[in-house]
Amino acid sequence: MNAHFGELLIEFPIREICYASGVFWIAGSLQGLTGFGFNLLSVPALVLWFPAQVVVPGVLLSYLPLGIGQFVQLRRDVDGLILGTIVGSAIVGMPLGAFLLRDTDAEVMKRAIGLAMVGLAIFLQVRPGRPFKYDAPTCVGVGMFSGFLSSSIGVSGPPLVLFGLKQRWPHAMMRATLLTCFFCTSALSLGVLWLVGVVTFESVQFVLWGAPGLVLGFVTATYLRARVHHVAVFRWISIGMVMAGGLAAAIF
């Protein structure tokens, strides 16, 4: 499939457009409900069809309009101090991740992403334990690691989610702050990837393919958020989908 990607751009492949939009719809819906999961869900499923060097910047770019819409909805609950600390430290880790993505073979990167997704999904199930008494140094370290993950595999969420759970942040504040963090790290990672030459025309075309799913995901998430107050089931669904997609990417 990856070898024929250039031909697909010319042929306007309906099947691939439907697949990309469907993945974005599901990922966007669950992201808006649980506060995480758009990139985590979409990347392993999409690298089964498209090269990682197209998927990662494409997913980051696709998340920007979704992130803006969610920020407008939830901005009152954002913690500015936590947001600034995480995003500022994330910038430090981004260049290394960008060079890794650029210089690694597409097939090797696909399998690496698959294994990373499985590991991160398991990581999210770790019992976080008691909150850190002095959380600022850990917040900086988590931010740096998230920046590296964002620019290399397109996923920055799991370390941030686990950190928020460990610190027992209020649910509304955690969801709003993490969604804003994801938006900021996605935008910054795109800048770094553009500087190293990973953002291409194919990535932009890929975003257009998934655009209908982004719109549906935003609408679905808004609908569900007003009616669903217990999201534990959806969180487990998200984790299960990440595991399945990661294993498929690593094996096939």
Give the tens place of pLDDT for each residue, 213-250.
888 887 887 777 676 666 566 667 666 766 776 777 67
State the amino acid at position 241 in one-letter form: M
What is the pLDDT at residue 64?
83
Q: According to the 3-state scheme, what is the secondary structure of 21-83?
A: HHHHHHHHHHHHHHCCCHHHHHHHHHCCCCCHHHHHHHHHHHHHHHHHHHHHHHHHHCCHHHH
Annotate 95-162 with DSSP letters as a single string: HHHHHHHHHS-HHHHHHHHHHHHHHHHHHTTS---SPPSS-HHHHHHHHHHHHHHHHHHS--HHHHHH
Task: Give the Cβ contact number of residue 193 at 10 Å.
Answer: 28
What is the pLDDT at residue 8?
47
Secondary structure class of 199 (helix, strand, coil): coil
Say how far apart CA 67 and CA 47 lie, in whole Å: 22
What is the pLDDT at residue 12?
59
- Percentage of the chain modeled with pLDDT above 70: 82
Say how far apart CA 81 and CA 188 lie, in whole Å: 18
Domain spans in the chain, listed from the N-terminal domain onward: 14-251
Residue 35 has pLDDT above 70, yes or no: no
Say how far apart CA 181 and CA 156 lie, in whole Å: 9
| Phi, psi of 171, deg, nearest 5 | -60, -45
What is the pLDDT at residue 49?
84
Residue 156 has pLDDT above 60, yes or no: yes
Residue 87 has pLDDT above 50, yes or no: yes
Cα angle vertex 160, ends 154, 163, to 5°?
Answer: 155
Mean pLDDT of the chain: 79
Its pTM stands at 0.73
Please give the residue that has the higher pLDDT: either 225 or 168: 168
Residue 89 has pLDDT above 60, yes or no: yes
Task: Give the Cβ contact number of residue 230 at 10 Å.
Answer: 7
Burial of 99 (0-12, 13-18, 19+ CB in 10 A): middle
Q: Are 56 and 97 in contact (CB under 8 A)?
A: no
Cα angle vertex 246, ends 32, 196, to 5°?
Answer: 80
What is the pLDDT at residue 18?
86
Confidence category of residue 110, pLDDT binned at 50, 70, 90 = confident
Q: Are 94 and 188 in contact (CB under 8 A)?
A: yes
- Percentage of the chain modeled with pLDDT above 90: 2
Residue 138 has pLDDT above 60, yes or no: yes
